[in-house]
Every structure is written in structure tokens, then in C-alpha cells.
Chains A and B, each alone.
Chain A
Amino acid sequence: MAPIPPPPPALLMGSDLTLTRGGRTLFEALTVRLGAGEVLVVEGPNGAGKSSLLLTLAGVLHPDSGRVAGAEADAPHLHFLGYGAAVKTRLTVAENLAFWRTMYGPSGIDAAAALDRVGLAHTAELDAGVLSAGQTRRLGLARLLVSRRPVWLLDEPTASLDAAGSRLVAEMIDAHAAQGGGVVVATHEHLPLTANHRSLRLGAPQ
């Protein structure tokens, strides 16, 4: 009998995670494995701990037990898109994006192409402060494109986006997975994904 081939190394591995915040256990002994080309959709009611799980995977929150490991130890390997837009209102849209491109490494497509992709090309020279909430979100999405990182952690990426924006998010996730990336996305909305995806449902905390 042929030996079972070892599974391909995970892009992101959270093993046996337990997190308690404010006296409530959000998740217990949870194992999350994200392989290349995989999309993990995290679902659950408000307060179930979706954002906390993403922050734990990002290494910002430290779990009470268990550990999180990236494919390459210590090398910066992920993009995080959360509720904070990380946009400076007094810089132009192009300046904001150029800053993050420099900070995360210019390994993706160039800034102008990214703005074009998310439909903000016409706003490049405007102050980011004049953007609507949805447009600010799109600027956040552009940030994912200008630097290549294998893992994307997206917390409610479709918040304040219109229908076309939601489709854009789904397309971007599909394209990233097709290129061998991994995505963990917490969302309430149904995303029309075509990539291979699994659901992880977090229950109400105890």
C-alpha cells in the first residue's frame, strides 16, 4: 500500500485555540487550517467572536491556549482588512495607497492598476477624507492588491459596499485563491464565491 502523501504545508495554522474575553469563552479548542487555494468563511451571530478569531489569527490577540503559526515563521505573510480603514483623511487616495505599498513591499500590481481594479481610478488625486464609507472600503481592498501576501484575513469586507462592491470582493477572493493564496473571511453576507470554500460557524459564546 502506497504511503499517504503528507498534506501540503498550511499557509496558516491555528491549533487548539481557546479565547476568553470579558469572562466569556468565545471559542474553545478550535483548530483552523488554511491551505493554499482555500477560502474559509467564518459565520456566526454578532458577538460570536468572528473578529476576535481573525485578530487571533493575525497575532494581535493572544489566545488563552493553543498557537498560531504561519507558513514561514516570522516573515510577514498576511493582509488584514478590519473595521479600521487605516486611511489618512488628509492624504490623497494615491498617497494613502502608495504608503501601504511601500510598507508592505511593492510585490503586487502597481497602485494605479489597483485603484482601477476597485473602481477608484477617478479619485486618485482627491483627499481620502472626501471618500464615502464604501469608497474607503474599496481603498482598503486596493491595499490587498498592491502587495502580495499569501494569507488574507478579511473582517466584514463587504461592510458599506454596494452590490457591485460585494461582487468585487468575491472576485478578488476567488482570484487570490486561484493564485495559491488563502483567505479567511468573516461575513454576514452571502458571497458568490466560486473558489473551493468551507464554512466555520461560531456559536453564541458561553
Chain B
Amino acid sequence: MSAILAIIGRDLRLAARLGGDALTLVLFFVMVGAVVPFAIGPDRVLLAQLAPGIVWIAAFLSMLLGLDRLFRADEDDGSLLLLRHAAIPLEAVVAAKLVAHWLLTALPLVVASPILAVLLAMDQATWVDTVLALLVGTPALTALGTIGAAVTVSLKRGGLLAPVLILPLCIPVLIFGVAAIGAPEGSNAAFLFLSAISLVSVAFCPFAAALALRVSGE
């Protein structure tokens, strides 16, 4: 357990000292939300209708963009090689990296979501739904992302390959994520589906990603 906390603590500390890196993803998230009203015109009713979809697309894209960072730094300086021989299994290492990455790339988006809510003319109830859906759905995106990042970690210029690889797997998250926001009072099936997808992918993806990392040394 202390080893898992050590990885999370180290990644958070590194991100805090590097500063701007985590912020760029948030900026991208806000940017996507900000340009959409320009593209579809100042119709507040239409904007409010589209808002859940736009927020999810913005979150989706910025999380995919950040994927390459999951293992890249550890691969480049040789840490990943050593983590294979750590006292905890590689699967646990991946799970710890998953938690740290979620805290660094998904949580800031949730924090920044009020800005998008204002830009997209969301009402307060929709915004609360959006925050809940993002909190529940984004772990699935990070978890699926560990597979993509692990598969492409040995490619020096694999930057955008990981997102392309895992994009099809992420579509259900997007579908149920948007449905969970727009759901009428009393029907929470989409939200439950979203939770199920998150739980399953967080539980299984570290194993798949660890397997990919083990063969990536070839």
C-alpha cells in the first residue's frame, strides 16, 4: 500500500513542480467549450440543448490528448524498467499511475466545468448532473487510456496513436455520459450504466495495460 501511495505522491509532486503542464489540458477543455458558441451561433436555447454533448466532447478530447504522458516520462528515464521489479506487481503500479493521472487530468476538468456551464448557458441542475457524470465517467476514460498508453509507450513518436487506438472503446462512455446528463427526473439507468462501465474498466484495464508494458520491451 505504501508503494502505491508513493507512486501517486510522486506523480502529484512532479506535476505540482512542473506547473503548467496540467493546466494546458484544462485550457484546451475550456477552449473547446468556448469556440462552440461561435460556431453554432448565439442561440441560447440550442446551446443549452447541446451543452451536455459539448462538455463531454471537450472532456473526451482533452483527456485523450493527455494520455501520452501516462507512461512516457517513466519510460524515457528508465523508471518503467525498474518498476517491473518493484515489491508490488506491475498491475498495482499501473493502477497507482491511473489514480494519479485521473487526479491530474480529470479532476481539474470537473473544477473548470462551471466556466463551460456559463459559456454554454447551462442551468444549475444540468451543471450538477454534468459534474456527477464527469466524476463517474472519466475514470473509465483514464482506465481505457492506460491500455492505449501502454501499447504505444515504446514508440518514440506514438503521441497521437494511443487516442486513436482507444477511441472506439471510449464511445460507450460518451453515449452514457451524455445520456446521464439529459436524463429526465427519476430515470437514472444511463447513470448506472456509466458507473458500471467505469467500475469494470478501472478493475480490468490495469491488467491489460501491465501485460502490454511487459511485452513492450521487445
Contacts and interface: CB of A to CB of B under 8 A. Distances in A.
B124 interface: no
Given A55-B217, A62-B218, A102-B3, A86 B79 contact: yes
Interface residues of B, number: 24
A67 to B, nearest CB: 16
B86 interface: yes
Interface in A75-126: 76, 78-80, 82-88, 90-91, 95, 99-100, 102-105
A61 B215 CA distance: 8
Contact of A99 (B6, B76, B218): B6
A86 B74 CA distance: 7
Contacts of A78: 85
A86 B81 contact: yes
Contact of B78 (A62, A85, A90, A102): A85
Nearest to A102: B6
Contacts of A61: 217-218
Interface stretch (B11-19, B58-66, B189-197): B11-19
B40 interface: no
Nearest to A79: B85
B86 A85 contact: no
Given A76-B85, A103-B3, A103-B6, A60 B77 contact: no
A76 B218 contact: no
A147 B76 CA distance: 23
Contacts of A60: 81, 84, 217
Contact of B82 (A55, A62, A100, A102): A100
A105 B7 CA distance: 13
Contacts of B79: 84, 86, 88
B81 A82 contact: yes
B14 A88 contact: yes
A55 to B, nearest CB: 7
A134 interface: no
A199 to B, nearest CB: 26
A58 interface: yes
A105 B6 CA distance: 12
A103 B7 CA distance: 8
Interface of A: 55, 58-62, 76, 78-80, 82-88, 90-91, 95, 99-100, 102-105, 147, 149
